[in-house]
Chain A
Amino acid sequence: MSEYKGSATVDPGSLAAGGGTASLVAPAGLAPRQAQAGGLLGSIGPVVRAVHGWTSTYFAAILLLMIAVGIALTGFQHGYTLMGEQIKNALVLGAIYALVAIGYTMVYGIIELINFAHGDVFTAAGFYAFAIASVLHLDGLATSSFGGLLLALIIVFPLSMIAAGLTGVVIEFVAYRRLRDSPRLAPLITAIGVSFLIEGIMLVVEGPDNVTTHQASWINGQAFTVAGVSVLYTDLFTIGMALFLMFALGAFVRRTRLGKAMRSTAQDRTAALLCGININRTISATFFIGSALAAAAAIIYSINYGVLKWNIGFHLGIIAFTAAVLGGIGNIVGAGVGGFLIGVIYVFGGSLFGGEWSESLIFAVLVLILTFRPVGLFGVEVTTRA
């Protein structure tokens, strides 16, 4: 920081001095520079900067306004029943994105690594849940009665989350720990490698086609109808479970010793180490929690959609990563909100402009964030190193 400031203060001086000597020797040499500053481009420059600055400042407001206009347009064009249905679709999709996005953001916050393998941990966790449910015959239990369903959920969620959490810890220990102090590119490439490795294993074990998990039959039926929009129990479960897990994580990070250790490690690893925080254990815990949340998202996904495929995680992961960037990478609340916003953009973009534009819109938003507000919507309090 100080070095940069120093050179910045020196620069104008040296330029002025240069100008002075140049005017003695060759005045024409500096002429083009001055002409540019006074010409058309020169007058556009400040305007562009002002627009950029203004857009950056009000980026969140502009984005939310556009989303609101999109939702309202859908209502005007196709009726409010469709608008309501699409809001429901968006929230369900957003809940899953949000839970996956939190895993990306936690890992980035603490070791500044984009963990590309996270999306594949999501898929693997879905298959763990499928295996656990098959071995323990949970399908019959879950569909037998409400109590049976609760019991099945109480069994499958913790077991899958622990299994996925351990997968995350192992990945960190084997693939990332030794590269922690290497140049940033090294762990990034390793992460992509781990991603391909997990995908390859799942392709071999589960085959190339969709695998039916039968978990979509766990929760059945319509909860209620609001203005013609039928809300299913699965919709309520998905959104409710996602919100519960996010608030539980928020409380954990704010209230517990480990949470405090995670926050301080994210802020300054060396300082945290000096304060006696076990860095390795804290980072392992972060991977554990992030992966466990991916497992929860995978079970919710499976209960919603009933199928898993070896490569769904990579694609879903990239969209969830965009959600994390939108919220401000490293910021847990931001990732949660970002996930829901991306869900809304995906669904309403597809509804207004046609499904082929859904993903284009999401990645257009990613480009806009990186251009106008690289720190994301909630990125104010993120570590300055980002």
Chain B
Amino acid sequence: MVKPTRGVMSVGAIAALGVLAACGTTSTPTTSNSTAAGIAGCHGTITVATDLPLTGGDATDGPFPQLAAELAVNQAITAKLMGGCTLKYISKDDSTVLKNGHDPAQGAQNIQALASDATVLGVVGPFNSSVALAEIPVASTDHLALISPSNTNPCLTAVVAVCSDPTININTSSLYPAGHTYFRVIASDVQQSEIDSYIAYTVLKATKIYVIDDQEAYGRGLALLFKKYYAADGGNIVGSASLPGTTTTFATQVSLAKSEGAQAIFFGGTTGNGCGLVRRDMGSQHFNVPLLGGDGCEDTKFISDANSGSNTSEAEGSYATSAPDVTKLASSATFFSQYAAAYSAKPAPYNDGTKEPYTAYGYDAMNILLQAIHAVLVANGGQPLSDPTAFRDAVVTQLRQTSYDGALGHTSFDSNGDTTNTGFTLYKVTSGNWVGVNTYAVDTSGTVTVKS
């Protein structure tokens, strides 16, 4: 179940990781104890941390991956993953009262504070791409590994066509003043748009498409990338519009799309910015072609918005891609039951890890970090490196070689720190619910394959 990281892990370490990987292997703490002999004599303190938004408007998001990461640390402590060394955990909150949620300035401060503690070897976080923009340069300067459970903005790791667009405007290279210490366990919008384009052109067989976006960094970025890949696939973009989130009617655009003979409409944006309303207006104009959206559209609000017009079942047959529903993965079952057991005393909804899509991502991110630290310790004869900076660099180098089977399935990182676990599931509204149709994966050359 667990693949050894290239050449540096002992057989004992693999057995110890069996517990963390939560793949159903029946390792027990006692067996882990006896097999972690190489680092049993480890002296010192190793600290890992999370930086996630925990309060204010983000109190429904951040605490889930935070609790999952904490669970991973507690399991590692029980399993004595770091041998004789003390494993410490620090939780930082990047929300502020001022922003009523995630605050990039607070995030940067948190990373600065964590970096000044020489025992901190890595941080799981941040949750939001805007916070990542502020944190990545700090982490880079301080050689500190940063693993995000949820950032999807493609420009955080690589320069793609959309990064210079005025609505996005991210200079990727300026994010890394020193080394590249940032990783993420979730696929970016580049992969999502490649898959969207494949679905529109090959699966839905639409050769002409009309594209609408919501003028925000996520939606516009997704739409611009989609247009690029769709044109490369051979599709014809018959028109596009970029409308603010305050738009209440898309009748003008639907009329245009209809007149241009579009065989589908792609919406880059969120339901709050009108994804469902586009579908509603398609209904009132009797324009019966598929609507395809990204993960911003795949929610229950889309269905109620689309059905709010004269056709009360207009949402039926709409498509959207979204992150795979990890709660349905066989690999995540053990994790979710462990989460439920560990946090049964927490108030709802925090006692149920499946209530938030990023819970398992937080768990795997922390386990990948712990696994890398463990591997560095083992490679160094079971002892921490004496130079803290060299120790952090060794952890980052080790993270690049990650090959980990966890709740999300198999994760490794490409040269930009992006996960190679790039699945996206196509969902379709069927009988008033989003139902998964197929899961697609895309490789680095842009070839899309059907995973399931």
Contact = CB atoms under 8 A, between A and B. Distances in A.
Interface of A: 78-79, 81-82, 85-86, 89, 92-93, 209-210, 212-214, 216-217, 219-220, 222, 230, 232, 234, 305-307, 309, 311-312, 315-316, 346-347, 350-351, 354-356, 358-359
B305 A212 contact: yes
B252 A347 contact: yes
B288 to A, nearest CB: 13
Interface in B286-317: 286, 301, 304-305, 307-310, 312
B46 interface: no
A203 B247 CA distance: 18
B259 A82 contact: yes
Consensus secondary structure, chain A interface = helix
A210 B259 contact: no
B242 A356 contact: yes
Given A210-B301, A307-B277, A347-B252, A355 B307 contact: no
A78 B256 CA distance: 8
Interface in B224-242: 240-242
Interface of B: 212, 215, 240-244, 246-253, 255-256, 258-260, 272, 276-277, 280, 284-286, 301, 304-305, 307-310, 312
A213 B308 contact: yes
Given A85-B255, A209-B301, A230-B286, A359 B310 contact: no
A216 B308 contact: yes
A48 B225 CA distance: 47
Between B215, B243, B248, the greatest number of chain A beta carbons within 10 A of the residue's beta carbon is seen for: B248
Contact of B307 (A212, A230, A232): A212
Contacts of B251: 89, 92-93, 347
B243 A355 contact: yes
Contacts of A309: 248
Given A209-B301, A219-B310, A355-B242, A305 B248 contact: yes
Contacts of A230: 285-286
A78 B238 CA distance: 12
Nearest to A355: B241
Nearest to A307: B308
A358 B256 contact: no
B309 A216 contact: yes
B259 A305 contact: no
Given A81-B259, A210-B301, A356-B215, A305 B280 contact: yes
A305 B252 contact: no
Nearest to A218: B310
B309 A210 contact: no
Contacts of A217: 310, 312
Contact of B304 (A210, A220, A347): A210
Given A210-B276, A350-B241, A86 B252 contact: yes
A78 B260 contact: yes
Between B243, B252, B272, the greatest number of chain A beta carbons within 10 A of the residue's beta carbon is seen for: B252
Contacts, number: 102
B304 A212 contact: yes
A306 B284 CA distance: 11
A219 B255 CA distance: 21
B436 to A, nearest CB: 24
Given A209-B272, A210-B301, A350-B241, A358 B252 contact: yes
Given A216-B308, A305-B280, A356-B242, 18 more contacts: A78-B259, A85-B255, A86-B255, A92-B251, A209-B301, A212-B305, A212-B308, A213-B308, A214-B312, A216-B284, A216-B309, A216-B310, A305-B249, A306-B310, A307-B280, A351-B255, A355-B250, A356-B215
A78 to B, nearest CB: 5
Nearest to A92: B251
A222 to B, nearest CB: 8
A67 to B, nearest CB: 15
Nearest to A315: B246
Given A85-B259, A354-B241, A355-B242, A305 B309 contact: yes
A228 to B, nearest CB: 10
A230 B305 CA distance: 23
25 contacts: A78-B256, A82-B259, A85-B259, A86-B255, A209-B272, A210-B301, A212-B304, A212-B305, A216-B284, A217-B310, A232-B310, A234-B310, A305-B277, A305-B308, A306-B310, A307-B305, A312-B246, A315-B246, A346-B252, A351-B255, A351-B256, A354-B240, A355-B252, A358-B252, A359-B244
Contacts of A346: 252
A346 B142 CA distance: 52
Contacts of B253: 350, 355
Contacts of B305: 210, 212, 307
B256 to A, nearest CB: 6
B242 A93 contact: no
A273 to B, nearest CB: 42
B168 to A, nearest CB: 15
A89 B255 CA distance: 9
Nearest to B286: A230
B167 to A, nearest CB: 11
User: Nearest 7 CB-CB pairs, A to B?
Assistant: A355-B241, A306-B308, A82-B259, A212-B308, A356-B242, A89-B251, A350-B252
A309 B310 CA distance: 18
Contacts of B301: 209-210
Nearest to A222: B286
A355 B255 CA distance: 12
B265 to A, nearest CB: 13
A82 B308 contact: no
B248 A316 contact: yes
A209 B284 CA distance: 21
Nearest to B301: A209
